[in-house]
Structure 1
């Protein structure tokens, strides 16, 4: 088996490795995938000082056969298109007159060789390949998924303490959205309405109570990638809304089922809406079975007021750090006899030294924004900021819509 592996493997060229199967050359330390002799497996290879180190693995166990960015660096083994067609080999004689083939001068840099794996040699929007349709050579995009970057942030900006939390940069909370409405009396001006959470390129979650006035769709705008609430920023992305969906069982008296879903309108030149940047990124939705321990520390963010009696919203994004309360501490008797349902969860600042009114908490204007918790090194959306008693009151938690109860609702509405 070892003899066959090296026979199929690669030659050494002063520290580089050439795969005899695909005619691809790899530098020291580079890795690649290729079909194994057994059809239901693939081989993972790595160039180690001119010698290939390969081992076979079931196809099902591969978790990295996806692309990042637009896939120019994709080196996976997908060889089928979105329509189900099989890709032609890049060195097929039928492609001799095509621009991108295994004979191109820089073919190995582009990932092209004696194989039919999907690639993106021309900087298109995603990996593609040549196929035969009606006995004619054409091309199609490949059925290869984009690697999920949900819940990841590039870095944590330095924070500036304010009353009830910290000022933050949008790169620390790139899923944060600002929802605004057009001023009916002053054309061109907008009013800040609520926070929101980006969960997909064209979908934003928020709180149902933000939309009780039943705004017209054309009046709503969603701003992504903005550290400052009103100041226009270079990296911000602004979208009109195609439709918004308020939970059909939302109860305005108790805020039960306080969840809404906004469908963003794609830009005219694209099928996509939000473009991923360091300032704009989706949050991860939790798995249905996710259970976090009581008192887990989580984060909230928003452009809301610094304190309950403030006449103004914050000009800059804020963040706070709170802990998840156990269900036994999230009841009506802990919240001045207000109704608390199974669709709600509580979180609050538990620091014993915190001064009343100066504890981290959501406040007016933060509604619809995210409560996120770390799981597997990614931030997951656990709650949507819903309601509370005052802002930052000692031993009084904030109340959030429990997202895990609405995963099927979100999935069903996105299919409509």
Structure 2
């Protein structure tokens, strides 16, 4: 089976849905213009750039027993409940008391005044998650206490209602390794990636690619990709003057290899479950 990208013990869009589309989601308070991302000279995630600090304020670092393991995204639920969207494989087999998330972070090597660490109340994986095939590799964590959302460094994300068309340039962020053999990045990085058609993904991965719950993105020549420890982090597309999450980093063969695009768990496919869970 594929190499997991993070280890724990292991027309663009149409339609709206307000429960996963709260006012102010997918934006930042540091004045960063997401529309400029495709104009940057992307150089190392693999092949990416260090982001403008706090320009993706829903991004969180998931720690297992105090050690960084996966990424995730802050979502706003009902009744002042708050959740982290991540990969189900990041949570599979983990004890809740061993998990915590860091919000408002940029440089994980520092104890930043902008960041806060919050314990997890409970975890939930998609009911169709298969830890062997990684179908429906979508998980949620309910925070034990509300985050300090009034801080400019912390905001909640949006979950897209529809998958973009193939060829659309989207973005993935993370603190993961910048090559298969390297150490993780201290500072959050971003990389641009075109969405591939489902037919192309199936042609590359065969039966490992489960069309109903997965999507893939990348350049045929490689060079830009998510990698180890980026798991659970968001794949996002710019739409309606904000970023909208369309997937979470799930698996791939190597990192940034030619004709080996990273595979993401589709949050569009899991959207009904996400909505029902965080708004229960």
Q: TM-score range by the shorter chain?
A: 0.7 to 0.9
Contact 2:198–2:211 (CA<8 Å) still a contact in 1?
no
Contact 1:161–1:167 (CA<8 Å) still a contact in 2?
no
Superposed CA offset, 1:104-129 (max 9, x none): xxxxxxxxxxxxxxxxxxxxxxxxxx
TM-score, with normalisation over the residues of structure 1? 0.56
Contact 2:42–2:191 (CA<8 Å) still a contact in 1?
no
Do the aligned partners of residues 291 and 384 (structure 1) sit closer, same or farther apart at CA in structure 2, a change above 3 Å counting?
A: closer
Superposed CA offset, 1:232-254 (max 9, x none): 10111211111011222211111
Aligned to 2:25: 150
1:297 matched to 2:169? The reply is yes
1:171 matched to 2:54? The reply is yes
Do the aligned partners of residues 195 and 168 (structure 1) sit closer, same or farther apart at CA in structure 2, a change above 3 Å counting?
A: same
Superposed CA offset, 1:79-116 (max 9, x none): xxxxxxxxxxxxxxxxxxxxxxxxxxxxxxxxxxxxxx
Aligned to 1:334: 204
Do the aligned partners of residues 234 and 160 (structure 1) sit closer, same or farther apart at CA in structure 2, a change above 3 Å counting?
A: farther
Aligned to 1:198: 74
1:324 matched to 2:195? The reply is yes
Do the aligned partners of residues 204 and 324 (structure 1) sit closer, same or farther apart at CA in structure 2, a change above 3 Å counting?
A: same
TM-score, with normalisation over the residues of structure 2? 0.82
- d(CA) in 1 for partners of 2:53, 2:156: 12
- Highest relative contact order (Cα 8 Å, sep 6+), 1 or 2? 2
- Matches for 1:2-401 after TM superposition, within 5 Å: 148-153=23-28, 154-156=30-32, 161-162=43-44, 164-182=47-65, 190-200=66-76, 202-212=82-92, 214-266=93-145, 272-287=146-161, 290-310=162-182, 312-331=183-202, 333-335=203-205, 338-349=208-219, 359-401=223-265
Superposed CA offset, 1:126-179 (max 9, x none): xxxxxxxxxxxxxxxxxxxxx711011233399884352112234221111100
Do the aligned partners of residues 294 and 195 (structure 1) sit closer, same or farther apart at CA in structure 2, a change above 3 Å counting?
A: same
Secondary structure of 1:412's partner? helix
Do the aligned partners of residues 336 and 406 (structure 1) sit closer, same or farther apart at CA in structure 2, a change above 3 Å counting?
A: closer
Q: CA deviation at 1:307?
A: 0.7
Contact 2:163–2:246 (CA<8 Å) still a contact in 1?
no
Q: Where in structure 2 are there 5+ consecutive unaligned residues?
A: 1-21, 34-39
- d(CA) in 1 for partners of 2:272, 2:204: 30
Contact 2:47–2:178 (CA<8 Å) still a contact in 1?
yes
Q: CA deviation at 1:336?
A: 6.6
Q: CA deviation at 1:389?
A: 1.0
- d(CA) in 2 for partners of 1:390, 1:328: 21
- d(CA) in 2 for partners of 1:349, 1:364: 18
Secondary structure of 2:137's partner? coil
Number of aligned positions between the proteins: 247
